[in-house]
Every structure is written in C-alpha cells, then in structure tokens.
A and B are shown apart, each in its own frame.
Chain A
Amino acid sequence: EAQVTQNPRYLITVTGKKLTVTCSQNMNHEYMSWYRQDPGLGLRQIYYSMNVEVTDKGDVPEGYKVSRKEKRNFPLILESPSPNQTSLYFCASRTDSHGNTIYFGEGSWLTVV
C-alpha cells in the first residue's frame, strides 16, 4: 500500500527543546516536501527535496531544517521550537512535476508551549 508515514502524530513540547518529525515514503518517490497548515492560511510549503542530498527552502523555512540522506526519508527538524511553530504539519511525496500523484501523510499536530 502506497504510504507516507509521519511520526509523531501528536506532540506537546516546550520552547527551545529540539525535536524531529520523521517522514518516510514507500513509493520510491524522488520529490518530498513539508507543509504546515494554519487557520486562514491554508497549506504553506516549508522545505522540499528534489532528490537525495538536494533540498531547498519553500515559503516559510525560518526555524526549520531538513535532511535527505536516503530517498525514502525526509525528517523535519526544529532546532529551537517556538510557540509560533505550533501548527499541523504534513509531509508529502510525489513522483513527477504535477501534483495529481502527490501523497500526503496523515499530519503531525505540534504544540509548543
């Protein structure tokens, strides 16, 4: 079954405590990305990766890091989380340039207090 798996699904953390949200896909997709969803703003891209060792900033990259050491994994790292990073995060992957083959993970609710 085609899947994008994120962990954790729910997390409450404190300001400044480093955390990592993992993302893994089993479809051998080259393109992966991270989005955050906020009320009234829709989904905004944080970072994306066109392939292994190739990453670039999206629209809202501040406060985040990513890595792409393997094709299947694309973790999102918050080195020093702040309350404005409280959001719903989605990892996504796809095989080509058009979005009709994009697969989203189920989302990770992150609260920073």
Chain B
Amino acid sequence: DQQVKQNSPSLSVQEGRISILNCDYTNSMFDYFLWYKKYPAEGPTFLISISSIKDKNEDGRFTVFLNKSAKHLSLHIVPSQPGDSAVYFCAASRYGSGNTGKLIFGQGTTLQVKP
C-alpha cells in the first residue's frame, strides 16, 4: 500500500522555466511533508518542508504547495537551473503521541533541466 505516490517517474524542462513536481498521499493523519533532493552517488538531502497548518512555504526558488482536501502537494522550482537535475522524493510523517518519527517516501521523480 503506497501511502505516498509520485506518479511521474520523470520530468524534463528547459532552463529558466518552471518545474512542477507532484505528490499525492492517502493517509489523512499525515501532518508534515518534506521534499528531498538526491544526486547520483549521494544520499538524499533535505530541500523544503511544510506543515499541514500551512498551504504554502517558500524558500528562494523553491515553493511547496499543500492542498489538504485533495491530499496533494507540489514542489515548484522557478527558475529551473541545470544544477537542479536530480531525483526528487516527497515524504510524509505524522507528529504526535506514539509517533515513531518514520518518514514515508514516494517513489521519486527524476528531473532533468536542459540548458
């Protein structure tokens, strides 16, 4: 049972344009969402996060949007740069009593930004 889904395995965009990566989840108890970026031969690194009490969080070129009613979040990268080419994972967790701190990851989306 895939609780966090990234339905697009890959995405290709031109440098300077917007990249939009999507993620859907099924568990309404999730209340914290994160995006990680992974380059080949490296471990994933934290990119941006959002709490369920917000619907948007922005950090420089990166913005995450959360639509709780649709159980959907998206990561916008504007403008996209060739160095953004990587695999992007979305992840979800549930905070509160009994929380084990486990992150549930999506399958990942490979972003290619063409010069």
- State A97–B7 Cα separation when bound (angstroms): 27
Given the known A-B contacts A44-B105, A48-B100, are A107 and B42 also in contact in the complex, defined by CB atoms under 8 Å?
yes
Q: How far is the CB of A3 from chain B (nearest CB, A)?
A: 10
Considering the chains assembled together, what is the distance between the CA atoms of A42 and B92 in angstroms? 13
Contact A104 B101, CB 8 Å, known A98-B32, A98-B95, A99-B91: no
What residue in chain A is nearest B43 (Cβ atoms)?
A104
Select the residue from B9, B49, B100 with max chain A CB neighbours within 10 A: B100
- A75-113 interface code vs B (CB 8 A; 1 in, 0 out): 000000000000000101010111111111111000000
Nearest chain A CB to B112's CB is how many angstroms away?
A: 17
B45 and A42 within 8 A (CB): no
Interface pair A50/B105, CB less than 8 Å apart = no
Asked whether, in the complex, the Cβ of B46 is within 8 Å of the Cβ of A106, the reply is no
B89-114 vs A, Cβ < 8 Å mask (1 yes, 0 no) = 10101010001111101111000000
B41 and A106 contact, CB distance less than 8 A: yes
Q: Does B107 lie within 8 Å of A99, measured CB to CB?
A: no
**Interface magnitude class on chain A:** 20 to 34
Q: Which of A42, A48, A92 contacts B108 (CB 8 A)?
A: A42
Inter-subunit contact B101/A41 (CB<8 Å): no
Q: Please report whether the interface of chain B is mostly helix, strand, loop or mixed according to DSSP.
A: loop
Given contacts A42-B108, A48-B101, A99-B91, contact A107 B34 (CB under 8 A): no
B15-46 Cβ-contact flags toward A at 8 Å (1 or 0): 00000000000000000101000000111111
B43 lies within 8 A of A31 (CB): no
Tell me, in angstroms, the Cα distance from A107 to B42 when the chains sit together. 7
A102 to B46 Cα, complex, angstroms: 7
The answer for the CA separation of A102 and B101 in the assembled complex, in Å, is 10
Pick the 3 closest A-B CB pairs, nearest first: A104-B43, A43-B105, A42-B107
What are 11 A-B contacts defined by CB distance under 8 Å? A33-B102, A40-B107, A42-B107, A43-B91, A44-B105, A45-B103, A90-B43, A90-B44, A99-B46, A104-B45, A107-B43
Residues of A within 8 A of B (CB): 4, 31, 33, 35, 40-45, 48, 50, 56, 58, 90, 92, 94, 96-107
